Structure 1
Amino acid sequence: MKKFLSLRWLVILPGVVAYLLNQYAQYHPNWAEQYSRTAYPIVSNAVGFLPSLVKFSVSEWLAVAVLLFLPVYLGYYLHQVIISKGDRGMAVYRASLGIVAMASVIYFWFTLLGGLNNYRDSFLAYTPYHEETYSEEELVKLCQSLADEMGQTRERLGEDHDFRLRAPDDFYYYAQQSVLSIQLLAKMYVGVCVYFNQDEVACYASAAPPSPIRIPVPIDLNRLRP
């Protein structure tokens, strides 16, 4: 029994390691930047290889499995506490330790697969732009202006907005141009777009995202076709 509980304590170590990594990355953004551009693609590819072989979302099913497992887990140990006569404290201890161990493992993989990217350099570090501070009123005016321009553009388009149905062949052209644009962006901003391999590129769509947007290159146009 003691050996079994000792092994559970070892499972908590990944959570401790993840916490230390987050603390270090928070005060060393250059290290977080190097991780996101070197180690992260390797870890991401290694973990994502098997899920990529199936058509459904593995992460969503894992989340559902965890949500279904927790009530069963808690119900089991609650039953153990009720039926136990003189060993209830140990049952509560084992249940709590199991939950902490699971949270530790989840936290560890979250850190490696995206959490550390929150501390990398921002998008502005690779562009000639500078961060500006705007008031809420100015942002509201900007959004209103963009909305007005969009409304005017829609009025000029007329009632038929689905041009892809009238010219379906154009879809392939624009899809390929989108891929080429991403490739060009990767060459212009090396720190923003990172090639995982010859078939995949990752681009960061915000200042400090938890994870990049990964786009297959060359793209499977049949999967994108509406």
Structure 2
Amino acid sequence: MLTFRTASADLTASDKFSEFKRGLKISIPLLLAIIPFALVLGAQAAQKGFSALEVPLLTGLNFAGGSEFAILEVWTNPPNIIMLIFITFLVNSRHLLMGASLAPYLRHLPNKTAFSALFFMCDESWALGLADAQKKQSFLGQQRAFSMMFYAGLCFALYVMWVGFTALGAVIGPVLGDINRFGFDMAFPAVFLVLLRGMWKGLRAARPWLVSLAAAALAYLYLPAGWHVPIGAVCGIASALLLTGDDA
């Protein structure tokens, strides 16, 4: 018989800790890929002149790896603040859609709790937290399906490891030189392949993904840096709406 945890407010202290540990456990395979990815970012930041203190400030306050890599690509000394803000917004624009998909599950929570959850949201915690809630929604209802403690365990592990290992990358980067030669740059696509596999529901349901992938790839090849993210997102959403209408 299937059993599911209820909303965090209904859990005992022991149950909350169990849900938190479940989030930590689920995050382990992702951490193995994120660690080298974080080291690469920290090393690249050090090569751009960031100190070992400035790197964790960058990754801790922004906590979005894609935009952090993007701004390092265009970093100058002195930095062009307007350009950096624009690129950060452009690359992080996908978080608007991700946050909107989580909003129905967080609407009943106090603002400070919901805003904290959204601040620590990244691609990995969003995908796993949303998938976990969707599995339980038909049994518990939308508001009770989202496990805040499970999500907190995910975010805690991902945040600490990301900030910590980007700082470590800044320290050891100058010693190792170009660490991409070790193949660490493959960590990022590996993480997303794992996430996509966990959300796979068949080829028919994946058609918007394919449209988004094709649009983003073309934009990456032929448009200025950063445009592939919003273009891929918009094309994916538009195709999802059109294909859903056709299926109906």
TM normalised by structure 1 equals 0.23
Bigger CA radius of gyration: 1
Q: Which has the higher contact order (CA 8 A, sep 6+)?
A: 2
Structure that is richer in helix per residue? 2
